[in-house]
Amino acid sequence: MAYRGAFYYLAGLVFLTLAKAKHTLQGYSTPKPFPLSETDRAITYDAVVVQDWLAQLQVYTGQQDLRGKSVLELGPGSDLGIGLILLARGAARYSACDVHDLATKVPPAFYEALFTRLPELTGSSDIETLREDLAAVTAGRPARLNYVVREDFNLAAAFGTNTVDVVFSNAAFEHFDDIERTVELLTAVCKPGAVIVAMIDLQTHSRWIREKDPNNIYRYADPIYRVFHFRGSPNRKRPHEYAAAFRRNGWQDITLTPLTTTTEHYPHAPPGVTRRFANSASQMEYLSVALCARKPAPGH
């Protein structure tokens, strides 16, 4: 066991070095675990993300109807397929904010393929309106589809205050360096009674070692991990820290639902994690979670 732990410790350092070098040389370019050129796979991926969000929303609120709702996505990544799917499902407006301008570089063929599949995926046949929405956002005109790129990720400056009914996020929160500020900005942007459904990936992100040692990034003391930090690298926040940030900003009814967990059963934490995470509060058996919370309405 000791030899195995030492191997994963050293292997993790190699992957951390490669990740930082890739970011330095190429920047952030592949938010999905496969290229956008795999069109059908990418469209299915977007549809499954929406399906998973709505399933969590159903459990949390008892309904998943988006009609008349203003929806905000944090970090849409490589394309605006999710936004188009949400509009097709009845959302009145879709807004998204990212620090990386990826979604304006999507080949038109991707959206043509998506429009072909939308009736099957959503039951909507109003494709022409969605085409107009996409054309408007591409031309920088106001539309139901609203995509903003901001280096400072200032949601309030991008979308105003009290404008959002539902917030969705998929594997984005773990990349925010300052989750407290992000939640503060969300609190300003959201209307009273708004809800958030955020899928948070707590694991190591490098492909090979993620499968072999999913908690690898937690093996390193803070000074060592900081050496490999770059903007967007996993922040190593644990579920209770996300919940605490929302609680401090006045959100209520906070739930944390494990989505994937370790297959081994550890009493406190997997062997080899650094001391800061070697406790029951860190819930190291959780590899990904769904966080749901509600901004209180007046009188609540």
Helix (H) or strand (E) holding 75: none
Closest CA to 93 of 49, 54, 48, 147: 147
- Read off the tokens for 144: 């139901």
What pLDDT, in 10s, does the model give residues 146-201? 999 999 999 999 999 999 999 999 999 999 999 999 999 999 999 999 999 999 99
Q: Which residue has the tokens 């200032």?
A: 154
Q: Which residue has the tokens 């919940």?
A: 243
What pLDDT, in 10s, does the model give residues 110-153? 999 999 999 999 988 789 999 999 999 888 888 899 999 999 99
What pLDDT, in 10s, does the model give residues 23-36? 887 766 667 778 88
Q: What is the pTM of this model?
A: 0.93
Domain 31-202+238-294, what fold? Rossmann fold (3.40.50)
Q: How many CA atoms lie within 13 A of 242 on its CB side?
A: 29
Mean pLDDT in residue range 76-90: 94
Residue 169 bridge partners (DSSP):
74, 198
Domain residue ranges in the chain:
31-202+238-294
Angle between helix axes 179-189 and 239-248 (nearest 10 degrees) is: 40
